[in-house]
Structure 1
């Protein structure tokens, strides 16, 4: 219990720091979203000072000095009220984010889990059978680990849409279909999501395979693995319960560390494919100096990374109880 409370306290402080930085950083960017909206409104007629204050309130930018704005920001955040989006005005930021989040969660979540599971499985088998055919793929895995997301996305986009017409080139679905759990929409969404998903898997599976393979080779030389083999245990039992269980620990910790890079890479991938997720929405927000929308997206990404790190910490302490005992 003490271990869990310490973890919760640490992540609570980290979340507060993230919330504060999320408030400060957008205000350091040159440009004023209120003035941007006022200039748009001025094209159709004169604007007053009262309209400017009302616009600042609607956009969730608060009023008064910076400290008062910070108080208004925390109060709005507690109500999950991020104001209005200047990009999709007069739509609420919460509505814009709610529309984009499911696309990113389904695509990035499933593709990332698939790449991690595939990489760890291949790495386990390659390390267990050193010098075999699967182990010969390690140089290729090294190359894949160095491939940037956007480069893999551009190559796949060119090959699968220009050279061979195998998949749609952009978007998340055919806009002539109605969004919902109907066959035509689901099939269209799957077709549009294949290339982005393959991009994530191709660009990340090599790193997981390489790391797991090297740890397996190192773990197989440990005394407890040699003792298990000397007892006459089945090779599969030795591989899974003795070697792989200990070799996977750095990969579990590495998943939490690299999650931020996975998320940032997927955002770039969404921009390349014009996929209607968080990445494409963030690009629109940055282009239009949409502070409220930028803040909401940054906060969603930050909390996603924090929650994932917290869950990985719990999983790590379950896989290796020694870490729990050391902090209790």
Structure 2
């Protein structure tokens, strides 16, 4: 038993507008101990969120609390509880891996053995190599190690597995799961839905319409309903109904509302559902999908395509039984 959970991260009513464009409207979120949460968003949204976490950008009337403290109240305490692994992060190129870890070990005055650190990052054979001689994936593992030395309450990873090799992805998953067991809170900011769903317990989409939970279970629990604190973030409180469309990502069933779907394409018997540029393999056939989605304004314009007519502004007859649509 993990015992009673404690809220580590509290986001309340933060928003971002750029001139006349809404990057994201006010939203609220809580992340507790032993939880891995992912926010799937655009690069602009991720960059803005990170600037808000570091205090570079105002939260526009809202607030971010880490262990109950905001950046404005006490910078030192706030930063001591927060660790961020940026996608692009400068390293001391002339240092060896061991010297780099020693520098941060002395800086944070952490009593941690190098053996344990090298084991977690799988960098034991590279300990005497200079940073400039490491591969991109090995440098990412050095970043993970630096965060382990810092040992904050809240770990934030920006695109942690983008462009890395299989070994580094495995190292990252092991580190994240170990941190979860130790009672840490992990927030992953990514533009890769598959990565988010694979690693996180809770996955949210953040865009101009707000924050929305991506559903991966047949029913919601009370804990999930409590995650979003505020009417601005969209989430249903009733159990998933028959109208949810199931897709599958790495052994996880992901459920979408019909209005979210742009179109569906069938290729070699596999139906793929497209949502804002991302493709998700469906567990249903195209005929099943046509039947279920017809009441929601979907139209089968070709034997291999079903489109959401709510997102089509023009339809042109292509042949007698097929059509071309424009969004």
Normalized per residue, which structure has more helix? 1
Provide TM-score, normalisation by structure 2: 0.21
Larger Rg: 1
TM-score (norm 1): 0.21
- Which protein, 1 or 2, shows the higher relative CO under an 8 Å CA cutoff with sep ≥ 6? 1
